[in-house]
Structure 1
């Protein structure tokens, strides 16, 4: 049994009791003269007794010229385990040390409380809010879990548990506050930008930070970004600050509210970021189309800027690709400014990732060879992955009557002979 772990009596605790974490243990100790403290610290650094909020080197109560080094009993059993040339066996002893709730980290405490077969494996921190997604078998421990996380995670104000799937048009979910304040407004930083939100009103997943960075690395000043499902702006806000022109859309009016807040917080000008509140299909058909037609007419073909479209609504986002089919007339859009689509979707991996990917692509008439890039973003659940498909659109895809126009052009180049 590891004497350094929390007391076994806390196993199965469902009502939080801080007193049950108090524990007295016997540990080895060595007394060292003050002039040798630096040397002893270097020699004993891997053998010290280490806990949160705990001093391993303490004053000697009987001698102001000595310090007591408290040692790990799992690593030191006798004086012979030490390599201190300036100490002798009479300076070695054992002493009792009192440990409390304050001395263990949240994961150590939760491992001691929860059943070994069902541990809390992860959580997400969004500013001052900690978000967990508890398995059914952990729900009876939810109040204790909430209390421990709130106490132990620095800056935590509230702990919330997701109680339902994201199954509404606004992409937020039902939740309950396990511990702390029910005021879920918070702020945080990502990609050198400040974001503010109310977690009860909008969706945010900090685990997508790396993917946000991947997209931002593809953007250059002067590029155009259409953010079809913008949320509170993880793509739109930093892209605007990089010098892109951005049209950001979201159906959830609360997302647009916080997107406007974040626009002001990051001092982004109106001509750099336009915020729109409508369904993604209407945004594509109306706003994206009109803006891109105007954009194509104002720039020359030798312009190096690119057009990007982010579609981060993985549950249904890939279904919106169809709205790009025959969106333009042939002469309304320049060959130089054909949009690059960044499409997010889910892949079921019951059989294999490759099989799941093939089924998704086939269902939406996307050829794998036409994809510039396919990225596995993250595991969402057992047998389910979130991916990104980056697709360069073509005029044949975007424009009406492209086949007819090609035929007419060929006939003009090779007129039929007449009698």
Structure 2
């Protein structure tokens, strides 16, 4: 095992100086005839310099008939019969070190977390920097650009996703201000303006083959478009005009028939009731509703109260609802169930509703995203409608 190779410590560096990351290392090497390299590397396997991206066998500057076998820096003294042991020096520079190694070497000592992670959305890298990382933001962004050839621009979120349209304010840290990006996901192509819409590449499309899907907060189509490609009949809605624009563009980009996806640009509650009524006009019903607005989606569940009032639908044909949400509770299941039941006005019948919940991802310390799935209960669906008449245009 080789001693860990670490870059020079440059604590407090805020302007990137690539030359400051050069460092020389010293070890031992064995000079062996070229024809015997395989023999000796096998015999000395546990003593070789096994370091990432560094060859254990290198050219011998003194002869074309021999090679140098580099030994682990842990080896201080060794004798190999018939071979000469010589000192060997090698230098590593900025190009060798990983993003995490470089950033760790510049962050103040004792920093609990090295800000090397990011979410890639096409050519854009999105970081969530903590307050203590802000003085280093330009350096962090430049290192990410240098080490990830597909990344062209780096942005930092400057506030939480808490407004009506779900897009966050951001600061461009490095690279050109090119926010229209394109990427492939779930065998589909997506194009959109990252600065104006909500996109989460870690979410997965529901399995809705040959079924009817209501996508209440569709964004640019990460659920709707893959589902439609698999044969689902989709109603997709988003209140954000920019999201709606790119949703329609992505439908064209993926060559989907307009009859496959019906698109809407309206409030989520109004959409739920309108979509249910429109589909029921043909004596059909949805199998799934997806609500991907984790900050507030639970609050929209009240739109299902009485949404099926007066409709002759078997209770086992009521839709499954997939609601994404955030929680900071130590007991995520209890917290989310309680909030859902409060909005729906009663408990979820676990036996009937087939309730499931899974962890999607951690978005911040002590803040997790979950998806709760359950079948809409008849008590909620068929209760007398108190929200007024539904007008279907």
TM-score of the aligned structures, taking structure 2 as reference length: 0.87
Task: Give the 3 Å change call, closer, same or farther, for CA 136–257 of structure 1 in structure 2.
Answer: same
Q: Which residue of 2 aligns with 1:77?
A: 76
Give 1:4-15 correspondences, 5 Å limit. 4-8=5-9, 10-15=10-15
The equivalent residue for 1:159 is 154
Aligned runs of 1:46-57 on 2, under 5 Å? 47-52=48-53, 54-57=54-57
User: 1:296·1:337 contact (CA, 8 Å) conserved in 2?
Assistant: no
Provide the residue aligned with 1:352 in structure 2: 331
Report the count of equivalent residues: 376
2:110 maps to which of 107, 113, 117: 117
Q: Per-residue deviation at 1:354?
A: 4.8
What RMSD over aligned residues (CA atoms) do the two structures have, in Å?
A: 2.5
Unaligned runs of 5+ in 1: 81-86, 298-305, 403-419
Q: 1:116 to 1:291 in 2, by over 3 A?
A: farther
- 1:289-337 Cα shifts (integer Å, max 9, x gaps): 212442529xxxxxxxx61000111111111111111123423545563
Residues 64-73 or 159-168, more deviating: 64-73
1:194-222 Cα distance to aligned partner (Å, 9 max, x none): 222221121222233xxx15x23xx22x2
Q: Does residue 317 of structure 1 match 2:318?
A: no
Per the TM alignment, residue 393 of structure 1 is displaced from its structure 2 partner at its CA by 1.6
How far residue 242 of structure 1 moved from its aligned partner, in angstroms, is: 0.6
CA contact (8 A) 2:154 2:175 kept: yes
Which secondary structure does the structure 2 equivalent of 1:134 belong to? coil
Q: Report whether the alignment pairs 1:100 with 2:93.
A: yes
Contact 1:296 1:334 survives alignment (8 Å): no
Equivalent residues in 2 for 1:12-411 (5 A)? 12-40=12-40, 47-52=48-53, 54-74=54-74, 76-79=75-78, 88=81, 90-118=83-111, 119-120=114-115, 122-208=117-203, 212-213=204-205, 215-216=206-207, 219-220=208-209, 222-296=210-284, 307-331=287-311, 333=313, 335=315, 337-349=317-329, 352-364=331-343, 365-370=345-350, 371=353, 372-401=355-384
TM-score of the two chains, using structure 1 as the length reference: 0.82
The runs of 4+ residues in structure 1 deviating greater than 6 Å are none
Is the contact between residue 326 and residue 398 of structure 1 (CA under 8 Å) also seen in structure 2? Answer: yes
Separation in 2, partners of 1:275, 1:181: 32
**Matched residue of 1:374: which SS?**
strand
Higher helix share: 1
Question: Contact conserved, 2:11 with 2:109, CA < 8 A, in 1?
Answer: no
Computing the radius of gyration from Cα coordinates, the structure with the larger value is 1
Deviations 1:200-253 (A, max 9, x none): 121222233xxx15x23xx22x20101000111111111011111111111112
State the distance in 2 between where 1:388 and 1:354 align. 10
Mapped to 2, the partners of 1:4 and 1:258 lie a distance apart of 47
Q: Which moved more, 1:133-142 or 1:368-377?
A: 368-377
Counterpart Cα distance in 2 of 1:129 and 1:57: 39
Matches of 1:45 and 1:128, distance apart in 2: 42
Distance 1:114 1:163, change over 3 A: same
Distance in 2 separating the partners of 1:28 and 1:378: 46
Can you list the C-alpha shifts for 1:251-276, whole angstroms capped at 9, x where unaligned?
11211222223223322222212221
In structure 2, the gaps of 5 or more residues are 386-393
